[in-house]
């Protein structure tokens, strides 16, 4: 008898992009853990049925996690998460080797395995929870630089770490734009299963890359496969009303929709999950900009970067070209966005609206990340921008989750 819902636990969960993608694919979040209290306010807002645990995973025992999730070992179907992993970077490894030689860190080698690297202890906790809770699958997401560092050595080490605890594991770099996200965003996914004689599932892309993209689809698609065009910035945000002005003290006034959707992506953003609770747009407040900024934004053409600006405009700011070549970037309506990052919270100059002389709002950034309008962000506007930039795009997560669900239905029916 097929189960109506499969279950998950989300580690490093805030604000809930990966959980949302899995929920879209028919999974039920039981519990989520993150040290970010503001991000977990957002998680609680959007997943009221899950146990939202604000805690340092290093101080949370597996027994306590299972107790609060209401499960026993082996009960949960999937554990998901994206633990910060810093020690794979060149600077990180060089610094670690130096500290080991100086005796600051007591390791057997100046070139430790990934799981023994002190900077990767959060990754080690993810492995620990998977080992203790014994899900049928796990999904771990991270930055794609792991794939190329030391000719893939770190990826091999991570796969070996999970295989030691009984999980057949594979890793691939996926691009969010392949799955209908209006953004070029590359991430590495590790997927593992303890089910015997079951393949590790990977989603097939449904959308083409924008012209000039640097990732090939050869590993995924056969020749002649029909793909949809990539979703563009304007298809993502072009139906939204003008934002509320960024007046100090004005929290988050909900704004009525004032035009109909003109593409399938916009309809999905408005309608998924029943739409926003009051039928209006939330998290849609513009920043205050100086007269100088407004003047420059108006002069910029779509797709223009700081490096493309004339000298007289650059002179208004005084930034160095060699360091700040992308300090200001104006989005193009006819292409997907470049990667939305958490740095967006500082000034947003890397995400200038393609039509209006302003930077994008939290809701517009959320649309570029594929968060439906029903998903409401909590905390200050700075908190909200950080949450959006740090999130896994839900549609990307849904693609991975759907493949796992298909296998679970086949194996457990």
Pairing assessment for the beta strands 255-256 and 186-193 based on DSSP bridges: unpaired
Rg of the chain in Å (alpha carbons): 22
Q: Which of 24, 33, 85, 309 is catalytic?
A: 85
Q: Is the dihedral of CA 244, 248, 338, 20 positive or negative?
A: negative
- Could you give the C-alpha distances from 197 to 68, 131, 209, 258, 407, in angstroms and in order? 32, 19, 33, 53, 11
- Could you give the C-alpha distances from 361 to 129, 274, 389, in angstroms and in order? 36, 22, 12
**What CA–CA distance (Å, rounded) separates 97 from 226?**
49
Identify the burial level of 26 via C-beta atoms within 10 angstroms of its C-beta, where 0-12 means exposed, 13-18 middle and 19 or more buried.
middle
Catalytic-residue membership of 263: no
**What CA–CA distance (Å, rounded) separates 57 from 66?**
13
The residue with tokens 């799981």 is 115
The residue among 413, 401, 412 whose CA lies nearest residue 138 is 401
Q: What are the structure tokens assigned to 262, written together?
A: 């003109």
First to last CA, the chain: 5
Residues 402 and 202 sit within 8 Å (Cβ to Cβ)? no
Q: What share of the chain is helix, strand, coil (3-state, %, to 5)?
A: 40, 15, 50
How many residues are present in the chain?
413
Tell me which residues are annotated as active site. 85
């Amino acid at each position: 008898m097929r189960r109506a819902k499969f279950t998950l636990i989300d580690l490093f969960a805030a604000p809930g992009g990966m959980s949302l993608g899995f929920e879209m694919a028919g999974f039920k979040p039981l519990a989520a853990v993150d040290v970010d209290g503001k991000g977990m306010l957002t998680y609680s807002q959007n997943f009221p049925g899950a146990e939202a645990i604000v805690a340092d995973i290093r101080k949370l025992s597996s027994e306590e996690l299972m107790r609060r999730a209401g499960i026993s070992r082996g009960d949960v179907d999937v554990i998901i998460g994206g633990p910060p992993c810093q020690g794979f970077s060149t600077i990180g490894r060089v610094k670690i080797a130096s500290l080991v030689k100086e005796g600051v860190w007591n390791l057997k080698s100046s070139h430790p395995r990934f799981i023994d690297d002190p900077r990767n202890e959060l990754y080690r906790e993810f492995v620990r929870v998977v080992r203790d809770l014994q899900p049928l699958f796990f999904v771990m997401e991270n930055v794609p630089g792991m794939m190329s560092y030391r000719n893939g050595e770190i990826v091999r080490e991570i796969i070996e770490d999970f295989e030691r605890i009984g999980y057949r594991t594979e890793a691939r770099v996926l691009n969010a734009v392949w799955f209908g996200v209006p953004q070029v965003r590359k991430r590495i996914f590790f997927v593992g299963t303890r089910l015997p004689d079951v393949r590790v599932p990977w989603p097939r892309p449904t959308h083409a890359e924008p012209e000039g993209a640097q990732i090939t689809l050869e590993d995924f698609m056969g020749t002649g496969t029909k793909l949809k065009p990539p979703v563009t910035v304007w298809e993502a945000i072009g139906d939204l009303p003008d934002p509320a002005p960024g007046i100090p003290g004005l929290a988050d006034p909900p704004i009525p929709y004032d035009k109909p959707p003109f593409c399938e992506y916009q309809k999905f953003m408005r309608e998924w999950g029943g739409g926003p609770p009051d039928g209006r747009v939330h998290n849609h407040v513009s920043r205050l900009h100086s007269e100088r900024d407004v003047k420059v934004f108006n002069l910029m053409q779509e797709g223009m970067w700081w490096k493309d600006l004339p000298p007289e405009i650059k002179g208004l700011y005084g930034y160095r070209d060699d360091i700040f070549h992308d300090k200001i970037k104006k989005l193009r309506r006819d292409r997907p966005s470049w990667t939305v990052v958490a740095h967006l919270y500082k000034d947003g100059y890397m995400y200038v609206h393609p039509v209006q002389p302003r930077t994008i709002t939290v809701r517009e950034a959320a649309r570029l990340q594929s968060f439906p309008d029903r998903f409401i962000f909590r905390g200050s506007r700075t908190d909200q921008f950080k949450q959006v930039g740090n999130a896994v795009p839900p549609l990307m997560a849904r693609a991975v989750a759907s493949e796992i669900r298909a296998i679970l239905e086949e194996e457990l029916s």
